[in-house]
Amino acid sequence: MWGMKMISLFAVALAVMSVCQAASDAATSAREAAQQYGAAVRNCDMRWAVDFMYPPLRRTYADQLTSSSREDEIARARRVQGLDRETVVQAKARMAASDKALRAKYARMGEEMKQRGLTVESFTVGEATSEYVVTPPMATVSQVRKDTSGRIRAEQIGNTQERSRVVILPTTLVISAPAANGKRTRMERRSYIYAVRDEVIVDTSKPRGTELNKWYFIDGNTSVNTLRTFFPNLPLYLKLPGTGDRILP
């Protein structure tokens, strides 16, 4: 009896260790993926923000961009409510046009930054401040934390089929721009991004546009309430890094 109990405890310990290791690896992987954007950011290439945006959010922004008039907004609401039906061909054509418009908007933003003489001197990504395993609304969510010894541990994640992971990464951006006195003003901006990946997808009848285990990104300026439309069971209070701007010498 005692031997069986010890075996069970050992099995549980191994399971917890594997979860902890996976969580640590995930945070490292997310940071490495985010660092790849450094060159694009330094070149003021805003298209990367669209190309690597979490696809469900990207579709939402694209749809909103092309629903500026009241008539467009009503038509969008009727589609969402299922009052108006589209064929597959019509839906794909509409979404492709919306996505093209969104990408063009971000490209213009990058060009405007260059025209204003703005230069991105550096873009760095820090270590993850928090990590969440996100499951469907009726399941649980767990934040991966460090215990007093500094070791990564995970609270109960819960048994669920669908699973995504959200990692919050601090970022530091140093930019310079021409000032009225003819010199350049330098500024440091501390912010963060959400790295998101879908790790288990069961319902493939509603394609998300994501690749399994591929990291996508959401800007920290995105409302947490918007984030919760995709991940309803995120904790009420997220552990976020410090933010702020400061003028550099």
pLDDT digits (tens, 9 = 90+) for 219-240: 888 888 888 888 888 888 888 9
Instruction: Say how far apart CA 232 and CA 7 lie, in whole Å.
Output: 37
pLDDT for 90 equals 72
Per cent of the chain over pLDDT 70 is 71
Give the residue carrying structure tokens 């919760």: 228
Average pLDDT for 41-67: 83
Most confident of 38-52, 119-133, 152-166, 227-241: 119-133
- Please measure the distance between the N-terminal and C-terminal CA atoms of the chain and give it in whole angstroms: 70
- pLDDT tens, residue by residue, 1-53: 434 333 333 333 323 333 334 446 899 999 999 988 767 777 778 888 888 89
Q: Name the least confident of 24-38, 64-78, 124-138, 206-220.
A: 64-78
pTM of the model: 0.75
pLDDT of residue 59: 87
Could you tell me where the beta strands, DSSP code E, fall in 74-212? 119-125, 130-134, 142-146, 152-154, 163-178, 184-200
Find all residues with CB under 8 Å of 103, minimum gap 6, and list them. 47, 50, 51
Higher pLDDT, 239 or 63: 239
Query: What is the C-alpha separation between 64 and 86, in angstroms, rounded?
Result: 18
Reply yes or no on whether the pLDDT at 177 is more than 50. Answer: yes
